[in-house]
Structure formats: C-alpha cells, structure tokens
Structure 1
C-alpha cells in the first residue's frame, strides 16, 4: 500500500489521487459516434475542459481507478444487463463531490426515478441524444450553480478516533483503519491528525507532514481549494495525510470555524475522513464530534482506561451518531482480564485488538504501517460499520457510496 516518498511525489505529480487541482471539469464515456457528436456540439458553448472518450461504464471504471475524479462525469450504460452493479462499482472509486450523469437506452420512467431519486444520479437521458437535449439537460452542470450548491451539501463520512487516555494506541488504530478503508472500499480516504504537537501519524508512514495545517485551523479564510495541494501528503493511491509537526513550545489555537471549514473541504474531496482526535477535545475539536458519523473510543486493559472510557462516552455521546469502543492490547501482561473489563465498562467492546508487542513497536520505528492479517480481522467490524465493506465485499446504495452518506 505504501510507496517510498520519492515515488509518491512522482505519482502525485502525474495526477493520482483526490487532492490534485487538475481535475477535468467534464468527462464523458459514450459508446457511439452519434452521442459523441451530440455532446461535443451541444456543450461546445461552455468552453474548454470538455473531454469525450469512446467506451461504456466498464471503460470509465478502468480509467478512473488510475485518474482523478472529474467534476462532472457522464457514462453510457446502454446495452448493459445489470447497470446498477456497474454504477455501484463506479461510485466506489469516485470522490463524493462528483456530479454523475447517465446516458442509456431504457425509456421507462420508473428507471429514471430509480437512478435520480433513489441512487443519487444527477440526470439520466435516454438515447437518441441530440445537441439540444445535451445542452439543455447537461449544460447546467457545467455552469455550476444549483448543481454545485447541491453537491456542497453532500460529502464523505467523518470518523473520529480518540483515546481514553494517552498511550493507548489511538494513532495506531487511526492509521491502520485509514489504510484498510482505502484498500477495501476503493474510495478516497483522508487521515487528519489534529495532534498538532507531538503527533505521530507522519512517523508511522515514514513521511514529514507538509506545513499549513495550523494556519488553516487558526484562520478559516486560509482553507481554500489549494489547501490540499499544499498540505495533503499522498500515502499510496487513495490515501492522503494531513498533519503537522509544531514545536513543543508552540501554542496552536484552532478555531471552531477553522475545523469546520477544513472538514467541509475534506468531505467534498474524500469518501471517508478519519480524524486522529486529541482527548479530551477542546471546543474546536468538538466540531469534529458534531460532524462525525462514527466515534471510535480506544482504551487499554487497565483501570484508568475503564474510568476514562466511561467519562469520555458521557462527554462525547451527544456528538457522534454512533460510538464504538475499541479495546486495544487485550492480553497485555499485567493488564486486566476480559471479564473484569466487561464488568467495569458495563458493556462489551465492539472491537478487540490483541496485544502485539513486537509488531507494533517495530513498525512504528521503521515508519511502516503495521496492518497485517490480525489487525485487518480486528478492524473488520469498523470497516463494516463505516463503508459496508467486509471480507472483500462492497455493499450499499450508489447514494451512500458516491456521496458518502449523511454525517
């Protein structure tokens, strides 16, 4: 999953990933010459950036696995027996801010409604396509306006990962969860580390975070479309890291507006945003909990972990839509037995990660993520909860996959 930093930089420059600015304004995949001519003629007045390629949705899937998601995508599903499955696959590799247009040969109104109302497709048009219909129905999406405003209301899911106390493995969980999501969901994932001083996400990947995160969090006006180009570090093809390494004597003052603005930007560009969150959270960090679909509370097998986990659940219970407790390092020599932990918590942890005394320290010191079979199996319930992905299977509606679901 991880490439050496020089190779990552080269891939980034060529255009791999969700954080690039050179996204095509409009990209179409059509199967016949007549449709291509109608699109080129009908949309010629909307300026440059119009790209039309020959091929159907299978061609689109293969291409967008390697290329940046365009702002507007048109795909041709004519002649496909089960287009829904193909649309699901396409949605899984695109960023949430995509506006998808579909061209096909099904003339039934029920099919149109299923695509546009139930599955989140912006517009469906049946063949034959004319220049007039291409301009009238597809043109508004090149202008922006209402279509862009609607897209801004949608976005990827935010997952907050926080520890009951320091040293329980919060960053380890966040790093490996982000890697697993990027791997099995095939979606675009952002890992945001809000531990501005002493954060270790960069160390675990063997990279130095780019500057800019602190400024963006303190001054909301600095969070713009170029922020990702300056601050996001590419980790593999579908994972970006946004972190900082502020001096220990620095006093970062993130604002609620800064955190909310950054999350809004990330949610439009990524299917999943995993946040390594300091605990207890300050007022600005609580904006993450308010935006989260899921909160992971990481604890260790000790009395302090139980006490703080109970307190943290009360503190953050009203923010995240769903909370899962992660018991890390189960079986640690000298740690509490499982039955005592269950008695103390009054509930069973949804996720249990065994003690891995050799693997995790070695991986952290080498700057290589520790994701292996044991960790993958332990994190599977979280992956299932976040992305409806388990054991290599992808489920969920196109709306949930393409636009990341509701927060």
Structure 2
C-alpha cells in the first residue's frame, strides 16, 4: 500500500451526486415557516425528505407523516395548523373536495394547502384554486417541483434578487486560501464593475486588513456580536471601502477575548450580505466546528484550496466527501491546487490529487514566493503587482468561473507549462 492509498484508507466514499437543475439553483432560501407533509407513497416521502436536507430549507420546520387527508384532519382537530400543509391523495376528482371538507373545518385561516394528486385534470385544478387550495401537483413529483411550489407561495416574486455567497476555506493552514479569496474578490469587482464584499471570518487571526493595507476601527466583531442591530444600514457603517466596487468587513485580528460562537452565529450576517451586494466572499478559517459547518453548508459556492502534499490530500478528500453529504442538491466544491512546484518538496501529482477527489482542479497555481511575497508586503493584489503574470491571468479566469461567466475547464499549471515544455525538449 503506497502513501496515498494509506492516507485515503477507510475514508468515507463520496455521496452520490444529486443533479442540481437551473430551477433549483435559482430558488431563494425559504423563510422561517412550518410545513407538515402527509405522504401516501414512498416516492413522495423520499422527495419530501430530500427537500428537508436542502440548504434552502434551513429555516423551515418540516415534519413528514405517512398518511393522507384523513390523517391530517384527525391530527389537526386538536392542534393548531402549520403555515403549510402538503397532502398526497389518490382520490378521484369528483370526490376530492368532499374528502377535504373535514380538514377545511379545522384549518386556521392563514394556513396554505398544497395537494399532490394522481389526476392531470385542468377542471379539477381550477376548482381547487377557487376553493382556496394554493397549488395542485400531479404525481410523480420531485424535490425541485415541491420546493418551487413552496417558494411560489411564500417568496415574493417581486423581491430584489439575492447576491451570491462564495466561501473559501483551506484544506490545511497556510495553503493560501485567504490570498486566493482576496484576489478573486478583487478581480470580480474590477473586471465586472460589480459590488463585492469580503467578510473575514477569522476574527483572531484574519489577514484581509493587511492584504488590502487597511486599518478599520470596526468591522466583523460588531456584526457578529450585535446581531440585533444588524441590517443593511448598520452593515454599511461597518464596511471599509478598498476600491470603487470592493468593500471589506475586516476581522479585528486581536486576542483580547475568546472568539467562541454558536452554530448559527454568522447566519444573520450572511442574510444581510445577500441583500447588500451581488457577490459576498467569505474568508473562512481552517477549522471544523458547528459554525464553520453551518457557513459552508449555506454558502452558494465553495472553494477549497490545497497544497499538493499528503496531509492536504487527506483533508481535502474528507472535506469534499462531507460537504457532498451536507449539500446533496448543490454542485461539488471547486478546488484549487496552490503552491505547486515548491523547490525540494516532494509533491502529490495534480492528476493523482484530482483522481482521489473525483474532481478536476479549477486552477493550479505555481509556487512564486517573490510575486506573492511582494504583493502581501505592499498590501496589493496580484493584478496590481504584476498584471501580466500567469497568476494574475489565473485569478481573472477564476473570477469568470465563480460568477458563472464561463464553464469550468481542465486547469493548466499556470506559469509552469512553458518551463516544463522547454525542459522536455532538452
């Protein structure tokens, strides 16, 4: 057994990847509502359970019961009804309204009802709508159809579109995840003239303030520890302007207190960020606890940065497998190989790394101590330090990829390909 096999031995295999259609990707997170579903078939129950695992349902209190309309009427005879009842029934169209009568007698006026039936009948649909049913779906129904129906009831179609959140995390400390996050945010803001907010979630050790040569008097700690005050106006006061379209919510980078958070500590901030900017870049520290899991589970896109060694490979595989299970209806994370080609360091080949993760790297960034060190010491981004460098080109390509302006292609070793070709010709 070689070293790579040993590092990956007994690691959990990746969960099967669920297709995430464009309709699902476009859905907004559902508000804090209660839903009780009554399922008569295994297929509908499986679809409802899949809905419950989706990150867009994080705030929803979902209960699933095996049964139909009679079970619902019996249960709510002595209980208050939830915001939404989903009912599956096989009753014939001419008898359906009569079957629903006992439930109608015990339903609160504000409760919405979605019916899942077996008859594709436009006359039945119109009759149900006239009698106050919110939606009628025809079996078989999938998770996307159910969630779209719920969103159609509870999400305002005229609401302003939400911005996207992109979370960056390193497979190991020191692999350059923060540097990549900051450079990608800078390029998104400059290339597309789009408003971008960088949120440095590493409160004790964050480096965004150093990398952008800023020393703000307030920032992330005020946002996290004053959730009752947090709204778009308060957030705007906490932001530091780095350039015309780029703002920073800086970490205090101080050790004057212990930074312990509950699981949902950053959820209010993520909600406000989505309403405040088209793109929010979350610089997540290398840690694994309740709040980091929650942030990664709820972000729209994830980027894992790794260096090409064995510990990074093991950690990256664990993270990818776990995040696939946490986010079963989303695309897998993007992963970036950084610091490739460090002198005298034995490395795991990019092809072996990709094969183990079952993912193609979004980018392969060569080790360039001079360029990255110069940029860090001067508080500038790579594109500002050397716009014509291969690394600057790579960050521009990542900006296109992460904003959906280009599809992912097989990564090349930026800056190394020409050198390797020249060596082969010798």
Q: Shorter-chain TM-score: what band?
A: 0.5 to 0.7
Shift in Å at residue 163 of structure 1?
0.2
Matched, 1:363 2:375: yes
**Secondary structure of the equivalent of 2:169?**
strand
Distance 2:275 2:315 in 1: 34
Shift in Å at residue 338 of structure 1?
3.2
Alignment-derived partner of residue 284 in structure 1:
291
Distance 1:216 1:254 in 2: 13
| Correspondence for 2:277 among 270, 294, 298 | 270
| Correspondence for 2:161 among 148, 154, 163 | 154
Tell me the TM-score normalized by structure 1: 0.55
| Correspondence for 1:202 among 179, 203, 209 | 209
Larger relative contact order (CA 8 Å, sep ≥ 6): 1
Alignment of 1:15-34 (within 5 A): none
CA RMSD of aligned residues (A): 2.7
Alignment-derived partner of residue 377 in structure 1:
393
Q: Residues 273 and 331 of structure 1: is their aligned pair in 2 closer, same or farther, counting only changes over 3 Å?
A: same
Alignment-derived partner of residue 387 in structure 1:
403
Alignment of 1:107-146 (within 5 A): none
Shift in Å at residue 339 of structure 1?
4.1
Alignment-derived partner of residue 306 in structure 1:
313
Q: Deviations over 1:204-234 (max 9, x none)?
A: 0110134242232134212123322331110
| Mapped contact 2:208–2:251 kept (Cα < 8 A) | no
Alignment-derived partner of residue 350 in structure 1:
362
Q: Deviations over 1:347-373 (max 9, x none)?
A: 432221111110101111111112334
Shift in Å at residue 202 of structure 1?
0.7
Q: Residues 275 and 319 of structure 1: is their aligned pair in 2 closer, same or farther, counting only changes over 3 Å?
A: farther
Q: Residues 158 and 283 of structure 1: is their aligned pair in 2 closer, same or farther, counting only changes over 3 Å?
A: same
Alignment of 1:185-200 (within 5 A): 185-200=192-207
**Farther off after superposition, 272-281 or 339-348:** 339-348
Alignment-derived partner of residue 396 in structure 1:
none
Alignment-derived partner of residue 41 in structure 1:
none
Distance 2:207 2:253 in 1: 12
Shift in Å at residue 150 of structure 1?
5.3
Tell me the matched-pair count.
246
**Secondary structure of the equivalent of 1:199?**
coil
Q: Deviations over 1:131-160 (max 9, x none)?
A: xxxxxxxxxxxxxxxxx9656673100101
Q: Residues 306 and 206 of structure 1: is their aligned pair in 2 closer, same or farther, counting only changes over 3 Å?
A: same
Alignment-derived partner of residue 340 in structure 2:
330
| Mapped contact 2:219–2:249 kept (Cα < 8 A) | no
| Mapped contact 1:210–1:230 kept (Cα < 8 A) | no
Distance 1:218 1:239 in 2: 24
Q: Runs of 4 or more off by more than 6 Å in structure 1?
A: none
Larger radius of gyration: 2
Shift in Å at residue 242 of structure 1?
0.5
Shift in Å at residue 303 of structure 1?
0.9
| Correspondence for 2:236 among 229, 245, 254 | 229
Listed as ranges, the gaps of 5+ residues in structure 1 are 1-147, 392-407
| Mapped contact 1:300–1:330 kept (Cα < 8 A) | yes
Listed as ranges, the gaps of 5+ residues in structure 2 are 1-154, 408-426
Distance 2:187 2:326 in 1: 25
| Mapped contact 1:220–1:257 kept (Cα < 8 A) | no
Distance 2:251 2:300 in 1: 24
Distance 1:256 1:289 in 2: 11
Alignment-derived partner of residue 189 in structure 2:
182
Q: Residues 348 and 162 of structure 1: is their aligned pair in 2 closer, same or farther, counting only changes over 3 Å?
A: same
**Secondary structure of the equivalent of 1:389?**
coil
Alignment-derived partner of residue 254 in structure 1:
261
Q: Residues 378 and 268 of structure 1: is their aligned pair in 2 closer, same or farther, counting only changes over 3 Å?
A: same
Shift in Å at residue 289 of structure 1?
1.8
Alignment-derived partner of residue 172 in structure 1:
179
Shift in Å at residue 382 of structure 1?
3.1
